[in-house]
Structure 1
Amino acid sequence: MNYNEETSQITENEQGDATALVKTWVVPELGCFVLQKQTTWTRNSDGVLLVDTKITPISISFQAVDEFFDIPTSYTERTKEEALNLLNQRAAAAH
């Protein structure tokens, strides 16, 4: 699991300028799936907490994705020039 923190400044907020802190916990073994994300905004002038949100998945499920990488049987390999010519022909026919 990897932990990351990012801070940024929030300006022109109606409640005053603030510092945003985003903490994320991700799992590289699950494609960097976010296990938890916490966002806080603290007003710069007095330290008052303006936003405090936490996102935690309650369940995850995975399915096979190999089929998304299969090359269709109808696929025709073309050079860049052939693809561009075909695109231009179709564009001309559409006008």
Structure 2
Amino acid sequence: MTSNDGLDADLLAARSEAAALFAAASRNDQAGPSAQLHCLAAATALRAPSGPVPATTDAHDPDQLITRALRILGELEPEDFAHPDVLAAARHGRRALREPR
């Protein structure tokens, strides 16, 4: 099953899950402002369908959320990971992990 832009359901699901985790990290009070901005940029870069971010993710450490999102992206097939928007999201996620709190 593919969507209108040629992305398959598994890729869309991975993008959506990673974007939700990045979004949760971007609004987490434990993350510093720069990390929050990188997480917001990562979530936006994925261009995933918007939806509510699960409230359960708010209680997690922002670094855990970012790491989970990066692992999801890292498990994509090489040709899916090579999409410019996925690469941009991964770069923002890595930068967010390096930012001080």
The bucket for the TM-score relative to the shorter chain is under 0.3
Query: Which structure dedicates a bigger proportion of its chain to helix?
Result: 2
Using structure 1 for the length normalisation, give the TM-score: 0.25
Query: Which structure dedicates a bigger proportion of its chain to strand?
Result: 1
Using structure 2 for the length normalisation, give the TM-score: 0.24
